[in-house]
């Protein structure tokens, strides 16, 4: 690759580009992360004690989580809820992506994609907050359901996990739709016809032909959605209730309310490690390779 660059731009410029990239990677990505790793293994000390006898590496910060029942509970609840968000996003996105990729005319597809993308020009906080308004006890959704006579008294959408789920599905749907759309788009329409022609019902056609073909796209979408959901802060903070706290909120508290960056960093890495492990496991179960996803 470097050779190609050299051929195209000449050696001095190529070296310059490579050097800049390296500086950017090291200074802005790798070093801060290494610093966080370093933090996470050290105790939270007063400035005067740093470098002193108490300042030694240990796993104490990591062990804290396993001794705190409440934090541990929220930790696993976050993972589980993220799985649910991912599943829900997939269920919502699949028909839409299928319609876009295989049913809609190019014009309809372009219009739909535009309608999907436009809301994302608005800041995430605002978008999430608008859901807060819609789902509120005195909000328009309750008013509408009441007017339609479907319910006789307003529902508390925001007291459980419901609000967070809806908010997250909405926030991350594009990260699911695009990989799905790409995967489905590449499916030869004759594959679907062949399945139909051989007598497969629509359900069987999806199950045996379309979904297996789209598996790498499904995996990519699910991984992105899961990681984003597990690491989300704004949505649970705005739409969550005290009962639906997200692990990121605890990390936040360690950093900015507890002032304990060491503890916060350890928690953040635990979340990262578990998420990666979980994804690895799921990929194994569904027999998806890293190569499939890169496609």
Partner 1 sequence: MDSSVHLDQIVMRFGDFTAVSRTDLKIESGEFFSFLGPSGCGKTTILNMVSGFLSPTEGAIRIGGEDMRNVPANKRPTSMIFQNLALFPLMTVAENIEFGLEVRGVARSERKKVSDRLLNLVALPDSGKKKVAELSGGQKQRIAIARALAVEPRVLLLDEPLSALDLKLRQHMRTELKEIQRKTGITFIYITHDQGEALTMSDRVAVMSAGKLQQVADPMTLYRYPQTVFAASFVGENNKLTGKVSSVEDDRVSLDCGPLGQLTGTTRQSLKVGEEACLFVRPEYLRRCEADTPQSLRMTINELNFEGSFVMMDARLHANQQGVRVQLNTDAYMADLTPGAEVSFNYQPSEAIVVGGAHV
The answer to whether residue 193 forms part of the interface with partner 1 (CB under 8 A) is: yes
Evaluate the CA torsion angle 172, 173, 174, 176 in order and state its sign: positive
Q: For the residues of 141-202, what is the DSSP string, one character each?
A: HHHHHHHTTS-SS---TTSSSHHHHHHHHHHHHHHHHHHHHHHHHTS-HHHHHHHHHTT--H
Specify the stretch interacting with partner 1 by CB under 8 A; choose among 1-9, 43-51, 134-142, 199-207.
Answer: 199-207
- Interface with partner 1, residue 208, by CB under 8 A: yes
204 binds partner 1, rule: CB under 8 A: yes
Say if CB 262 and CB 46 are below 8 A apart: no
Residues 1-60 interacting with partner 1 (rule: CB under 8 A) = none
Using CB under 8 A as the binding rule, whether residue 218 contacts partner 1 is answered as no
* 104 forms part of the interface with partner 1 (CB under 8 A): no
- Does the footprint of partner 1 cover residue 280 (CB under 8 A)? no
Q: How far apart are CA 268 and CA 246, in angstroms?
A: 12
Binding mask 144-183 for partner 1 (x = CB under 8 A): ----------------------------------------
Helix (H) or strand (E) holding 63: helix 60-67
Q: Does 289 bind partner 1 (CB under 8 A)?
A: no
Only one of the segments 64-72, 162-170, 197-205, 234-242 lies at the binding site for partner 1 (rule: CB under 8 A); that segment is 197-205
Establish if 259 lies at the interface with partner 1 (CB under 8 A): no
Q: Residues touching partner 1: how many (CB under 8 A)?
A: 17
Q: Does 287 bind partner 1 (CB under 8 A)?
A: no
Torsion of CA 165, 242, 267, 259, to 10 degrees: 130
> Residue written as tokens 């990591």?
62
Separation between Cα atoms, residue 182 and residue 176, nearest integer Å: 10
Task: Locate 33 and state its tokens.
Answer: 């992360």
**Interface with partner 1 includes 199 (CB under 8 A)?**
yes
Neighbours of 216 (CB within 10 A): 19
**Which of 196, 249, 278, 279 contacts partner 1 by CB under 8 A?**
196
Q: How far is the CB of 130 from partner 1 (least distance, A)?
A: 40
Torsion of CA 13, 16, 20, 26, to 10 degrees: 140
Nearer to partner 1 by C-beta: 210 or 270?
210
CB of 209 to partner 1, least distance (A): 6
Residues near partner 1 (CB under 8 A): 188, 190-191, 193-201, 204, 208-209, 212-213
């Amino acid at each position: 690759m470097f050779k190609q660059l050299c051929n195209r731009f000449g050696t001095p410029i190529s070296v310059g580009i490579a050097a800049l990239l390296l500086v950017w990677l090291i200074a802005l990505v790798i070093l801060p992360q290494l610093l966080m790793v370093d933090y996470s293994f050290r105790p939270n000390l007063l400035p005067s004690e740093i470098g002193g006898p108490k300042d030694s590496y240990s796993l104490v910060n990591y062990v804290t989580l396993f001794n705190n029942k409440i934090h541990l509970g929220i930790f696993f609840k976050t993972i589980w809820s993220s799985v649910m968000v991912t599943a829900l996003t997939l269920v919502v996105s699949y028909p839409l992506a299928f319609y876009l990729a295989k049913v809609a005319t190019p014009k309809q597809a372009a219009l739909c994609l535009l309608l999907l993308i436009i809301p994302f020009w608005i800041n995430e906080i605002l978008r999430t907050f608008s859901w807060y308004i819609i789902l509120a006890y005195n909000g328009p959704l309750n008013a509408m359901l009441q007017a339609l006579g479907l319910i006789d008294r307003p529902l508390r959408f925001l007291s459980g996990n419901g609000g967070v789920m809806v908010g997250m599905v909405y926030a991350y749907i594009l990260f699911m739709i695009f990989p799905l759309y790409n995967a489905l788009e590449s499916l030869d329409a004759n594959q679907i016809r062949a399945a139909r022609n051989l007598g497969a019902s629509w359900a069987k056609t999806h199950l045996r032909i379309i979904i297996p073909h789209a598996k790498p796209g499904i995996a990519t979408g699910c991984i992105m959605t899961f990681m984003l959901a597990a690491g989300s802060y704004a949505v649970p903070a705005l739409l969550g209730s005290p009962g639906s706290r997200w692990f990121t909120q605890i990390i936040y508290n360690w950093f900015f309310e507890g002032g304990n960056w060491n503890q916060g960093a350890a928690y953040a890495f635990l979340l990262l490690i578990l998420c990666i492990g979980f994804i690895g496991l799921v990929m194994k179960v569904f027999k998806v390779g890293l190569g499939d996803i890169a496609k």
